Structure 1
Amino acid sequence: MLYGAAASGSVAVEAALTLLNMPFDLVEGQTWTSDAARERVAGHNALRQVPTLVLPGGEVLTETGAILLHLADAHPRARLSPAPGDAARGQFLRWMFFVSSAIYALHWIGPDVGRIGAPAGARDAVIDAVHKRIAFCWRTMDAQLNPRRFLLGDELTVLDLYVAVVSRFRPWRARFHAEAPRMTPAIRRVDEEPRLRALWERRFPGG
């Protein structure tokens, strides 16, 4: 069972499950706007956030990056991550954690700038600074990767899924394309992946 919401990080998990051909029940709810959605997931995740994945045996996984890593490593034949010992494994882990900590984590501020002690009246300035930082981080990542067909080479990995989703958040894809021109072709290939096209259209309507 996956607790998730459209246009959120849980879509990356949905994409991985789709590529793995793993059926799942989706409990829909925008936990950042809905008390009811937060209460639905509270029994599994004390932070009351999505994504929260409950495995068939009852084990609970939270945090988008951690879920993606678990799914990829648990299904090595799908080749959604470089295997331990693969020369690309170190950079794969580096950038998975970079997206999680340096970029995705900043989006936690948006719904309530009071979370970092900022007054409500400073919201516009705070959000502008956050967006500049996100753009800087995409630019930094872009300068240090050498994408081929996908970000780490010629095989799609969960890193590609992660970036394809998080790059759709504010300051939106146009800013991502401007800041990350080397990564852009790989991410556009993820957008066009036939197995995922219907998912992207459904979960990110309007692009």
Structure 2
Amino acid sequence: MIRFYHVYQSYQKDVFALSDISFIVNPGEFIFLTGPSGAGKTTLLKLIIREEVPKKGQILVHGQNVSSIPVSKIPRLRRSIGVVFQDFKLIRTKTVFENVTFVLKTLGVDLKERRRRAHNVLKMVGLQHKTHFYPLELSGGEQQRVAVARAIVNDPALLLADEPTGNLDPDRAGEIMDLFEKINRKGTTVLVATHDRDMIQRMRKRVISLQAGRLEHDSGPQIQVEET
């Protein structure tokens, strides 16, 4: 699913946001990516979706070397990945339905099919009754659930979440993580970046810890990654 081989990323000479990162994520896993602010969590996620290219090393996603994917093929890669952000990134002038199905519409999916898929994912997150609401008419927890619905409406093989509960109270945060677990049980690989240690301990999943851009600890099976 995801393979990092001795990956380095830097934004200025000799200052590395990530340094010699190697790990493997297998299909169907649920993994927490953790570490303090500035540890490199967001950078790592950006590399997976080819928002950035590493300075050194190799990253495979679905068997493809993301660094060598032509620019014209990047949208295709991203359609197989759902992404949930801390600040929701909903379009305020569009309804819940329009936000959830925005990508489907750009892909040319007809209205009947968009309605079917939107109903299914909104029912899954408990918001099928708020299809015609606008983001500012929703609570923070509801907005994040809309963002989750949008991320999974295209049935992605991989779901990435960057501090998805950072703006939520503990009860709403728990609801979001329960949703991720439900999505994972359906077969989607889930990678959640968070610094919420209580949440990590409660859910007891595999944990990859970063510290100052280095892989500090991986609670999963110790896999030897060969030199490339």
TM over 0.5: no
Q: Give the structure with the larger helix fraction.
A: 1
TM value normalised by structure 1 = 0.33
Larger-Rg structure? 2
Q: Give the structure with the larger strand fraction.
A: 2
